[in-house]
């Protein structure tokens, strides 16, 4: 389990993390989302023990992360900006990893290199951006991490490789209960793979929930009546209401059954209830105040 | 076994539950047949194993499947008792809607009965 407990961090006068809490359960795939500059990469660098927090605590499996070799041996991290030794090829790099990670799996490494069709003898600095990312993934997955931390992992990967990457991740979660923390702006992709979601803004956690639960209590509704009743939505927690002609468009935060009951009571001629996509929830939570943005989305 | 639609607004969890239910109702998956394990299914579908686990729990709760510790998960026999009132209401509403649509197409009562009754009887004979 990864636990971030009331962490604060300032860079000069800029407050990067503000009393941030994150809980990632063992064997879970956790999606970390937030706007640009919200502090995703900063908190990931804290979780991987690269930066020390000003206050608060970060533990993995109960152990403090910073300067802890024991934890880092069990952790795999693929940063947004990759680093390889400039003169190394993939084979040499794999020997370096092998020396660092006690659980290194040579068999898997050999299998993955052929599967991703990477040239072991070519210098890594000559690889394209996407191929470097693949190389990093092959190296990290061959180290058999218990905790996998990914910062924008699928950026720049083609759809076939992406599928393969997720396949490996899901397999390790299923077989070894690996814990995964992944940050991305590709919400569609996260939605398909994560079980928990944390949304952060300005270095602070806005909401941290089970993804299915989150999606099951915010709905987008379209209703039309022959004769509109007076104040038909007074029992509901309406986040947003808009009338387009005779059709009402609502965003409601309530259980599905209650919403259906309330609406059906007024005999609508048209009633559509759609669950919100993660993207819509994200925009609603983070762009909520700005009417200009809202009118584009809903 | 089945396909998931990543573009759908339905969550993966709901899709897994609905797809398996469909296969069980259509008897593609026979009673007492063993379902793939959570691990196997999560690997074949490339879906988070926690999601599959939750879907199996829901199906078990609804009585479609049962788990024997150490052996795996199996399709349950269709139940004689314990009809879930919420499900019943949902399905009734669906049928009501479809019938409304048939009226809208211009069919009369007799014609609609002619369409629906055979389905009811056919299923009854099989049981």
Residue B46 contacts A, CB cutoff 8 Å: yes
**Residue at token pair 């309330």:** A262
Cβ–Cβ gap B48/A274 under 8 Å: no
Is 90 exceeded by the pLDDT of residue A102? yes
Residues 6+ apart with CB under 8 A from B110: none
The verdict on B70 and B28 lying in the same domain is yes
| pLDDT given at position A58 | 94
In a domain, B5, yes or no: no
CA distance B38 to chain A (A): 8
Select from A29, A193, A277 the Cβ nearest to the Cβ of B9.
A277
In a domain, B1, yes or no: no
Higher confidence at residue A295 or residue A277? A277
DSSP letter at A228 equals: P
In a domain, B52, yes or no: yes
| pLDDT given at position A233 | 83
Task: Find the mean pLDDT for residues A183-188.
Answer: 88
Domain range for B116 is 85-122
Q: Answer whether A51's CB lies under 8 Å from A16's CB.
A: no
- How many structural domains compose chain B? 2
Cβ–Cβ gap B48/A257 under 8 Å: no
The verdict on B56 and B111 lying in the same domain is no
The verdict on B22 and B63 lying in the same domain is yes
The verdict on B23 and B65 lying in the same domain is yes
| pLDDT given at position A76 | 94
Of A56, A59, A39, whose CA–CA distance to A47 is shortest?
A59
Least CA distance to A275: which residue of chain B?
Answer: B9
pLDDT, one tens digit per residue, over A218-268 is 888 888 888 877 778 888 888 888 888 888 888 888 888 888 888 888 888
Work out the burial of residue A232: count CB atoms within 10 Å of its CB; fewer than 13 is exposed, 13-18 middle, 19 or more buried.
middle
| pLDDT given at position A133 | 93
The verdict on B40 and B69 lying in the same domain is yes
ipTM: 0.76
Q: Answer whether A138's CB lies under 8 Å from A113's CB.
A: yes
The verdict on B18 and B46 lying in the same domain is yes
Is 90 exceeded by the pLDDT of residue B127? no
In a domain, B41, yes or no: yes
In a domain, B37, yes or no: yes
The verdict on B71 and B90 lying in the same domain is no
Cβ–Cβ gap A163/B39 under 8 Å: no
| pLDDT given at position B125 | 61
In a domain, B80, yes or no: no
In a domain, B34, yes or no: yes
CATH number, residue B32:
1.10.10.10
Sheet holding A204-210, edge to edge: A75-78, A147-151, A179-183, A29-34, A196-201, A204-210
The verdict on B63 and B104 lying in the same domain is no
Give alpha helix (H) positions in chain A: 40-47, 69-73, 90-100, 106-116, 129-142, 159-176, 187-193, 211-216, 256-265, 278-286, 291-297
Q: Answer whether A28's CB lies under 8 Å from A196's CB.
A: yes
Measured CA to CA in angstroms, residue A160 lies from A116, A156, A163, B120 at distances of 10, 12, 5, 46
Is 70 exceeded by the pLDDT of residue A290? no
Size of interface A-B (CB pairs under 8 A): 49
The verdict on B71 and B23 lying in the same domain is yes
CA distance B104 to chain A (A): 14
Confidence band, pLDDT 50/70/90 cuts, at residue A148: very high
Q: Which of A1-15, A54-68, B94-108 has the lowest mean pLDDT?
A: B94-108
Predicted model pTM: 0.81
In a domain, B4, yes or no: no
DSSP letter at B19 equals: H
Task: Find the mean pLDDT for residues A26-49.
Answer: 92
DSSP A46-93: HHTTSS--SEEEEEETTEE-TT-HHHHHTEEEE-SS----TT-BHHHH
The verdict on B42 and B94 lying in the same domain is no
The verdict on B102 and B54 lying in the same domain is no
Residues 6+ apart with CB under 8 A from A253: A217, A218, A237, A239
Rounded distance between C-alpha atoms, residue A158 and residue A102, angstroms: 31
pLDDT, one tens digit per residue, over A52-78 is 999 999 999 999 999 899 999 999 999
Is 90 exceeded by the pLDDT of residue A281? no
The verdict on B41 and B96 lying in the same domain is no
CA distance B59 to chain A (A): 16
Instruction: Give contacts of A 47-86 with B, CB under 8 A.
Output: none
């Amino acid at each position: 389990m990864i636990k971030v407990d009331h962490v604060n961090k300032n860079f000069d006068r800029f407050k990067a993390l503000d009393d941030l809490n994150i809980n990632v359960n063992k064997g879970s795939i956790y999606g970390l989302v937030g706007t640009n500059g919200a502090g995703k990469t900063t908190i990931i660098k804290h979780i991987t023990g690269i930066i020390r927090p000003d206050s608060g605590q970060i533990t993995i499996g109960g152990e403090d992360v910073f300067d802890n070799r024991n934890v880092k041996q069990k952790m795999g991290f693929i940063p947004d900006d990759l680093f390889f030794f400039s003169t190394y090829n993939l084979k040499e790099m794999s020997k370096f990893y092998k020396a660092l990670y006690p659980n290194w799996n040579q068999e898997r490494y050999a299998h993955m290199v052929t599967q991703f069709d990477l040239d072991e003898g070519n210098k890594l600095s000559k690889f394209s951006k996407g191929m470097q990312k693949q190389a990093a993934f092959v190296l990290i997955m061959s180290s058999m991490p218990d905790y996998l931390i990914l910062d924008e992992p699928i950026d720049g990967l083609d759809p076939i490789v992406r599928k393969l990457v997720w396949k490996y991740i899901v397999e390790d979660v299923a077989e070894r209960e690996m814990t995964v923390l992944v940050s991305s702006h590709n919400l569609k992709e996260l939605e398909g793979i994560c079980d928990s979601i944390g949304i952060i803004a300005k270095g602070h956690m806005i909401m941290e929930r089970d993804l299915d639960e989150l999606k099951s209590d915010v709905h987008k509704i379209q209703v039309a009546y022959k004769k509109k009743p007076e104040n038909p939505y007074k029992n509901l927690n309406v986040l947003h209401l808009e009338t387009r002609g005779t059709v009402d468009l609502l965003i409601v935060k309530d259980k599905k059954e209650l919403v259906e009951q309330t609406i059906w009571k007024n005999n609508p001629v048209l009633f559509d209830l759609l669950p919100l996509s993660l993207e819509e929830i994200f925009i609603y939570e983070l762009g909520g105040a700005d009417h200009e943005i809202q009118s584009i989305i809903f | 076994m089945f396909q998931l639609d990543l573009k759908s607004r339905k969550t993966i969890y709901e899709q897994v539950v609905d797809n398996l239910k469909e296969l069980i109702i259509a008897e593609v998956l026979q009673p007492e047949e063993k379902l793939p394990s959570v691990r196997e299914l999560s690997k074949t579908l490339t879906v988070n194993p926690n999601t599959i686990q939750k879907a199996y729990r829901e199906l078990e709760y609804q009585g479609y499947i049962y788990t024997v510790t150490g052996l795996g998960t199996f399709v349950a026999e269709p139940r004689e008792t314990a009809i879930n009132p919420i499900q019943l209401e949902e399905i009734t509403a669906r049928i009501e809607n479809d019938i409304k649509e048939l009226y809208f197409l211009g069919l009369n009562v007799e014609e609609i009965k002619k369409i629906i009754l055979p389905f009811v009887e056919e299923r009854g004979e099989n049981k």
